[in-house]
Chains A and B, each alone.
Chain A
Amino acid sequence: MLSGAAGAVQAGLAQPGLVQHGVGGATDLPIPFFYAVVGATWALTISFAVLALAWRTPRLQGPAPTEPEPPRRPWLAVVGMVLTLWFVGELFLGPDESANGGIGALYVLVWVGLVPLALLAGHVWKDLSPWRTVQWALGRLTGRPDGFVRLPDAWGVWPGVLAVFAFVWLELASPEAGDITTVRTWVALYVGWVVIGGIVAGPRWLDRADPFDLYSSLVAHLSPFVQGRRTHLHNPLRSLPHVPVRPGLVALIATLLGSTAFDSFSASQPWQSRSPSVLADTLVLLLFCVVAALAFQAAARATGGVSRSERGALPGLLAHSLVPIVVGYIFAHYLSYLLERGQGVVFALLRPTGWADDASIAYFLSSRPDLLATLKVGFVVLGHVLAVVAAHDKALEVLPRSHRLTGQLAMLLLMVDYTFTGIYLLLSV
């Protein structure tokens, strides 16, 4: 069972070697030019319509729900533990090759799958997280359920930013993202990071340093169905402003956005024809994230009529409005990857049962390129519109009256720029 199962499941997972996104297989066609133009035109038009015609007093702001979140649901903790044992068991005990289902489970099911999961079910990751269960159990053993030290507030989510960067580096810039030993090493380090950190600093560590948990909690604020981990149908633009403003929030969102853009960019013909070194890949990945962050910092601050400290607070106050752009672009970029590559991953994970030996991937989206292109552009434009509305409403609250419109202009242009860049990458790569 340990090896020799090669070939039994070739369900779309690639041979060893350099593979895109860590898992092999085809990628989407570039979207047709016409789709790009239509998408870009809509994004631009709606942006200025919102600025010029929309409401003049904040409508979406309100106090965060005061009732405490419900405790973790034990049955979901069990589900999370079983899935984790399955994924990690396959990764470490399954075949020593790139077809190992644990690799795809990490890249496809966990990293990409957590976004739609959080949109549909809120921050259910908190219930599922096996590391929270481990932390809870060990906390009882040590008699320190909240750990031994209090994570300094000044650190904010920076530990999580580091961990998210470590993940996107693994996926996009490490020399062998699809190599079984590489992924096993990364996962072992990750487990050490969350378990030891959880013992030392308690659940706060998992809130702020577990990359998947943190990412899920961010996206969950955009869920229309769940708020504060309670089922509650609502306008997601009302829950979005409740993303906690902590040091590192802008960096976190910029890392998610910049890395997705880098994923497109690094698959472009000019970059592929160059054989960049690992260092060059790493630096350019970092550059994408830093440029996204600095541009946002600058645009958020570009208003008149505020004091120095008020200006410094603006990027954090507006950061939540970028989340829809991130989510829209993630869907555009990874939808077919999740739905089609994800089938291959599930087949590989089912290998020990033999249930999926004859299964083959249904390429519903890839075989309909026009539908796929429409969806991709649609997600980007929808994310953009939600972002512009969220930023507009927040700006009305936090900007001085006389600068309410002019103070939004730089942010609006930046969002248009992010979106055009996203559409350009979908068009040209």
Chain B
Amino acid sequence: MTPTSSTLTRSTALAAAGALLLVGCGSDDDAEPVVSPAATASAPSAEPTEEAAEGVQVDITIADGAVSPQGERVEVGVGEPVTISVTSDAVDEIHVHSDPDVTIDVEAGGSAEETFTIDTPGQVAVESHELGVTIVQLVVRP
């Protein structure tokens, strides 16, 4: 899967083609980081573990009031197991906005892991309750 080049080309082409309104209100915000989601999307896990081979692994680190990653897209298949591992220096609740939803509680200085599947195509946000940000957006394709 090499979404990098195609995503970039599409976005740039269409942006150039017509999105004058967006250009008016900050095309820099919009066009520039398009590279990063695709570049990281297919490899959210730094070290491929055995579990990762079974599905998608997402490693989340919360430290000093910031979360990594933030706002990234992760491609997932319908019914494919998704494992989310959280390491945090503060108490937090991670919400996966699927139906049924998934909540992962993590203690200060602790870690937690949860594996689940998503059965409906769509985009599912994984959010930090304490920080109020979208950590990753699971792009669930059939």
> Is B120 close to A, CB under 8 A?
yes
1/0 contact string of B78-113 vs chain A (CB within 8 Å): 000000000000000101011111010000000000
Interface residues of A in 406-429 (CB under 8 A from B): 416-421, 423-424, 427-428
CB distance from A252 to the nearest CB of B (A): 18
Of B25, B30, B33, B95, the residue contacting A17 (CB under 8 A) is B95
Cβ–Cβ < 8 Å partners of B93 in chain A: 15, 17
1/0 contact string of A25-50 vs chain B (CB within 8 Å): 11111100100100010000000000
Q: State the CA gap A428–B11 with chains docked (Å).
A: 7
Contact assessment for A270 and B134 in the assembled complex, using a CB-CB cutoff below 8 Å? no
> Is A3 close to B, CB under 8 A?
no
Q: State the CA gap A421–B20 with chains docked (Å).
A: 7
> Is B133 close to A, CB under 8 A?
yes
Q: State the CA gap A19–B131 with chains docked (Å).
A: 12
Of A176, A284, A360, A428, the residue contacting B25 (CB under 8 A) is A284
Contact assessment for A421 and B10 in the assembled complex, using a CB-CB cutoff below 8 Å? no
Cβ–Cβ < 8 Å partners of B36 in chain A: 269, 273
Contact assessment for A261 and B140 in the assembled complex, using a CB-CB cutoff below 8 Å? no
Contact assessment for B125 and A20 in the assembled complex, using a CB-CB cutoff below 8 Å? yes
Q: State the CA gap A14–B93 with chains docked (Å).
A: 13
> Is A363 close to B, CB under 8 A?
yes
Cβ–Cβ < 8 Å partners of A27 in chain B: 122-123, 125
Contact assessment for A366 and B127 in the assembled complex, using a CB-CB cutoff below 8 Å? no
> Is A268 close to B, CB under 8 A?
yes
Contact assessment for A295 and B18 in the assembled complex, using a CB-CB cutoff below 8 Å? no
A270 to B, closest residue via Cβ: B33
Q: State the CA gap A421–B25 with chains docked (Å).
A: 12
Contact assessment for A417 and B18 in the assembled complex, using a CB-CB cutoff below 8 Å? yes
CB distance from B94 to the nearest CB of A (A): 9
Of A25, A29, A36, A292, the residue contacting B139 (CB under 8 A) is A29
> Is A275 close to B, CB under 8 A?
yes
Among A16, A33, A292, A344, the one with the most B-chain Cβ atoms within 10 Å of its Cβ is A33
Among A261, A361, A417, the one with the most B-chain Cβ atoms within 10 Å of its Cβ is A417
Given A15-B103, A36-B14: A29 in contact with B141 (beta carbons within 8 A): yes
Of A19, A40, A265, A367, the residue contacting B30 (CB under 8 A) is A265
Contact assessment for B129 and A15 in the assembled complex, using a CB-CB cutoff below 8 Å? yes
Interface residues of B in 1-32 (CB under 8 A from A): 6, 10-11, 14-15, 17-22, 24-26, 29-30, 32
Cβ–Cβ < 8 Å partners of A267 in chain B: 137
Of B20, B29, B140, the residue contacting A270 (CB under 8 A) is B29
> Is A288 close to B, CB under 8 A?
yes
> Is B71 close to A, CB under 8 A?
yes
Of B11, B25, B137, B142, the residue contacting A272 (CB under 8 A) is B137
Given A18-B134, A268-B30: A427 in contact with B10 (beta carbons within 8 A): yes
Q: State the CA gap A295–B21 with chains docked (Å).
A: 8
> Is B121 close to A, CB under 8 A?
yes
> Is A224 close to B, CB under 8 A?
no
Contact assessment for A295 and B24 in the assembled complex, using a CB-CB cutoff below 8 Å? yes
Contact assessment for A14 and B132 in the assembled complex, using a CB-CB cutoff below 8 Å? no
Q: How large is the interface on A (under 10, 10 to 19, 20 to 34, 35 or more residues)?
A: 35 or more
Q: State the CA gap A273–B33 with chains docked (Å).
A: 10
> Is A159 close to B, CB under 8 A?
no
Q: State the CA gap A363–B98 with chains docked (Å).
A: 12
CB distance from B4 to the nearest CB of A (A): 13
Contact assessment for B139 and A14 in the assembled complex, using a CB-CB cutoff below 8 Å? no
Cβ–Cβ < 8 Å partners of B15 in chain A: 424
Cβ–Cβ < 8 Å partners of A273 in chain B: 33, 36, 70-72
CB distance from B84 to the nearest CB of A (A): 15
Interface residues of A in 292-340 (CB under 8 A from B): 292, 295
Contact assessment for B101 and A275 in the assembled complex, using a CB-CB cutoff below 8 Å? no
Contact assessment for B14 and A14 in the assembled complex, using a CB-CB cutoff below 8 Å? no
> Is B52 close to A, CB under 8 A?
no
Interface residues of B in 46-77 (CB under 8 A from A): 70-73
B17 to A, closest residue via Cβ: A420
Of B19, B22, B120, the residue contacting A363 (CB under 8 A) is B120
Cβ–Cβ < 8 Å partners of A265 in chain B: 22, 30
Identify 15 residue pairs between A and B in the complex whose beta-carbon atoms are under 8 Å apart, listed by A's number.
A18-B134, A19-B127, A24-B95, A25-B99, A26-B118, A26-B125, A268-B30, A269-B71, A284-B26, A363-B120, A369-B121, A417-B19, A423-B14, A424-B14, A428-B14
Interface residues of B (CB under 8 A from A): 6, 10-11, 14-15, 17-22, 24-26, 29-30, 32-34, 36-37, 70-73, 93, 95, 97-101, 103, 118, 120-125, 127-129, 131-134, 137, 139-142
Q: Which 3 residue pairs across A and B have the least CB separation, nearest first?
A: A420-B18, A273-B71, A272-B71
Q: A12-B100, A26-B124, A367-B142 are in contact. List 18 more A-B contacts (CB 8 A).
A: A10-B100, A15-B93, A15-B101, A15-B129, A17-B132, A18-B134, A20-B97, A267-B137, A269-B137, A270-B34, A271-B71, A272-B134, A361-B99, A369-B121, A417-B20, A421-B21, A427-B11, A428-B11
